[in-house]
């Protein structure tokens, strides 16, 4: 099973909570926004979805 995490850049406020919470280091901050640079590593735990206060993150099951 594979998962695809995406960040809505228009919603992201750059709090870095998702960077800290992700167990497999999917996210990296770039120009004040979180970018899922290691999206292929995602295990679908949805911790990032829960921690993001502005609902910027979506994790899709492929
Ligand atoms: S938790 Fe949400 S608002 Fe914070 S950096 Fe990640 S995507 Fe952006
Ligand atoms: S669902 Fe879990 S593994 Fe996937 S990006 Fe979010 S925190 Fe990381």
CATH of the domain at 10: 3.30.70.20
Give per-residue pLDDT as tens, 5-50. Answer: 999 999 999 999 999 999 999 999 999 999 999 999 999 999 999 9
Ligand 1, atom 8: closest residue by C-alpha: 12
Ligand 2, atom 7: closest residue by C-alpha: 22
Ligand 1, atom 1: closest residue by C-alpha: 52
User: 29 C-alpha to center of ligand 2: Å?
Assistant: 15
Range of the domain at 9: 3-61
Question: For residues 59 and 26, what is the distance between their CA atoms, to the nearest angstrom?
Answer: 12
Question: For residues 23 and 32, what is the distance between their CA atoms, to the nearest angstrom?
Answer: 21
In this predicted structure, the answer to whether residue 1 has a pLDDT above a threshold of 90 is no
User: 52 C-alpha to center of ligand 1: Å?
Assistant: 5
pLDDT for residue 43: 98
Model confidence at 54, pLDDT cuts 50, 70, 90, reads very high
Domain total in the chain:
1
Q: 27 near 35, Cβ under 8 Å? A: yes
């Amino acid at each position: 099973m594979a998962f695809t995490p995406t960040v809505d850049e228009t919603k992201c406020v750059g709090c870095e909570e998702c960077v800290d919470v992700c167990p497999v280091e999917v996210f990296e901050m770039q120009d004040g926004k979180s970018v899922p640079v290691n999206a292929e590593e995602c295990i679908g735990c949805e911790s990032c979805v829960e921690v993001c206060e502005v609902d910027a993150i979506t994790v899709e099951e492929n």
